Structure 1
């Protein structure tokens, strides 16, 4: 069977002139036509192979949030109570997860009003400034844990203080440099195997490797509005992450909420540490590889 891989000759024959000049009836300026930009290796028979790799990796990040509400006749007292609970929760989270827990906090306060019944008997708030019944303060902690193994215990420490609302524990993946490199190496091996299979199926010889371009390709050429000197390539982007941390310190937190002493014990944390399975995440990589073909 004759080699059917002389793509370079077809591409060069089909390539239009780099610039097409046209003068408008009003004497306007020249314009550029789209041209097909081809690399140097398309002047010979080549084989293009796209290598792909998908790696299944366990998630390495977790997040959750909790909110504590307190009320009082005075706004500042309501805020103090809510903040005190938030601080104790923060201490418990940090003693469990250490520097692997990144906690951001917020506080807000709003009034609530006296109520009266309308003519239909429905309770209605009287939202006049002189009818304020008290104030509700809200402290929220948003927590990112950089080690999934201790995320459940960190959330249990926050739950032990009885937040008025909380979110689910969410897990996800931020790929490390090592994960990224492993996926890339697997993609290169896959591309080499595909190129070999292509040569065998086309009854031709696989020559030397001419180019490897990270990304999904194609790397034989592309349409461009610039002249043929543009050498830009498409790239895949990957995220990065940190290595697993050492075991956390012994968890314990306590403090005053108003006049009451509040303590979070290890037993409280163990009782509220809900188990959950972490679904594996996918890291993908791809490369475009060019081999010489033929005798």
Structure 2
């Protein structure tokens, strides 16, 4: 029994210890606060902040083709006929370059009349349907912007009823993210070397490398952990990299050749496509990153 009581007391005594270990090391505003372990000797902590601009590597737009006929089936068939050859031509690029999504919607067009106030209204009754309107929509996502101008010109040459605005987006791959993180660490090291040299000191061994940058944002004077940003980012040159859907490397080869015409389908001619061609240059998008590096000082 005595052993059991002693075990219970020991367990109870251990609870405050665990709770204390989970307590933050200090409260902001206290007069004295403990310093991080890496500040037990002279150190220098530097935040590397970098930014670069790379061209967008995704683009897309949508176009609609409209058809009106006496029956829903005829209207839908005619609308589908307008986009069949176009869809097959775009699909020939391959799903890794051009993704195509087609949809077809049909709605009735009712007989109209004027009410007592002279306002034109639809006679919304099943027996008063005059014709049917079918809208075939082609939504295109271009994953290789080298073919964007030709894809856009192909759709324009197909004479759609309406065409939407081209949108651009940047989806950097893991290689680009790794490159930018490396530049952030290099920037932190450069800032540390210059600061130490200006203060008449030299750098020692590396104590901390924090890719998030938060370790360098602890404010010991205010009572850590208190975080805040600071400093201006360093611009890094991304002209030697190319952001694509799957890789980072040297400039790409010329665009792939145009897909072969679809047999048995009516598609825009090469002359019509070239006549509709416009300049569509992907805009630049900004990427940023930061890293914290802590050195000892000699």
Residues 160 and 251 (structure 1), Cα distance of their counterparts in 2 relative to 1, 3 Å cut: farther
Offset, 1:153: 0.8
C-alpha distance in 1, partners of 2:19/2:95?
62
C-alpha distance in 1, partners of 2:120/2:174?
60
Q: Which deviates further from its counterpart, 83-92 or 36-45? A: 36-45
- Is the partner of 2:214 in helix, strand or coil? coil
Q: Which deviates further from its counterpart, 96-105 or 107-116? A: 96-105
Q: Given that residues 95 and 248 in structure 1 are in contact (C-alpha distance below 8 angstroms), is that contact kept between their aligned partners in structure 2?
A: no
- Is the partner of 2:135 in helix, strand or coil? strand
C-alpha distance in 1, partners of 2:93/2:82?
17
C-alpha distance in 1, partners of 2:37/2:20?
22
Aligned pairs, number: 249
Residues 160 and 38 (structure 1), Cα distance of their counterparts in 2 relative to 1, 3 Å cut: farther
Residues 38 and 273 (structure 1), Cα distance of their counterparts in 2 relative to 1, 3 Å cut: farther
TM-score scaled to structure 2, two decimals? 0.73
Q: Given that residues 47 and 291 in structure 2 are in contact (C-alpha distance below 8 angstroms), is that contact kept between their aligned partners in structure 1?
A: yes
- Is the partner of 1:218 in helix, strand or coil? helix
Q: Given that residues 212 and 289 in structure 1 are in contact (C-alpha distance below 8 angstroms), is that contact kept between their aligned partners in structure 2?
A: yes
Q: Give 2:134's aligned residue.
A: 137
Q: Deviations over 1:199-257 (max 9, x none)?
A: 23334332111221112323475649xxxxxxxxxxxxxx982255851334534766x
Q: Give 1:28's aligned residue.
A: none
- Is the partner of 2:267 in helix, strand or coil? strand
Task: Say whether residues 1:201 and 2:191 are aligned partners.
Answer: no
Give 1:276's match in structure 2, choosing from 280, 283, 286.
280
Q: Give 2:24's aligned residue.
A: 34
C-alpha distance in 1, partners of 2:35/2:73?
70
Task: Say whether residues 1:263 and 2:260 are aligned partners.
Answer: no
Q: Deviations over 1:19-66 (max 9, x none)?
A: 459xxxxxxxxxx64335975423322211111221222222111111
Give 1:179's match in structure 2, choosing from 176, 180, 184.
176
Q: Given that residues 104 and 143 in structure 1 are in contact (C-alpha distance below 8 angstroms), is that contact kept between their aligned partners in structure 2?
A: yes
Q: Give 2:4's aligned residue.
A: none
Pairs within 5 Å for 1:205-284? 205-219=202-216, 223=225, 241-243=245-247, 247-253=256-262, 262-284=266-288
Offset, 1:97: 6.4
Q: Given that residues 157 and 264 in structure 1 are in contact (C-alpha distance below 8 angstroms), is that contact kept between their aligned partners in structure 2?
A: yes
Residues 240 and 43 (structure 1), Cα distance of their counterparts in 2 relative to 1, 3 Å cut: farther
Offset, 1:111: 0.8
Which blocks of at least 5 consecutive residues in structure 1 are unaligned? 1-16, 22-31, 225-238, 257-261
C-alpha distance in 2, partners of 1:67/1:73?
20
Q: Give 1:26's aligned residue.
A: none
- Is the partner of 1:152 in helix, strand or coil? helix
C-alpha distance in 1, partners of 2:122/2:217?
71
C-alpha distance in 2, partners of 1:103/1:57?
25
Greater strand fraction, Structure 1 or Structure 2: 1
C-alpha distance in 2, partners of 1:248/1:90?
17
C-alpha distance in 2, partners of 1:169/1:136?
26
TM-score scaled to structure 1, two decimals? 0.74
Q: Given that residues 112 and 121 in structure 2 are in contact (C-alpha distance below 8 angstroms), is that contact kept between their aligned partners in structure 1?
A: yes
C-alpha distance in 2, partners of 1:45/1:157?
66
Q: Given that residues 92 and 154 in structure 1 are in contact (C-alpha distance below 8 angstroms), is that contact kept between their aligned partners in structure 2?
A: no
Runs of 4+ deviating beyond 6 Å: none
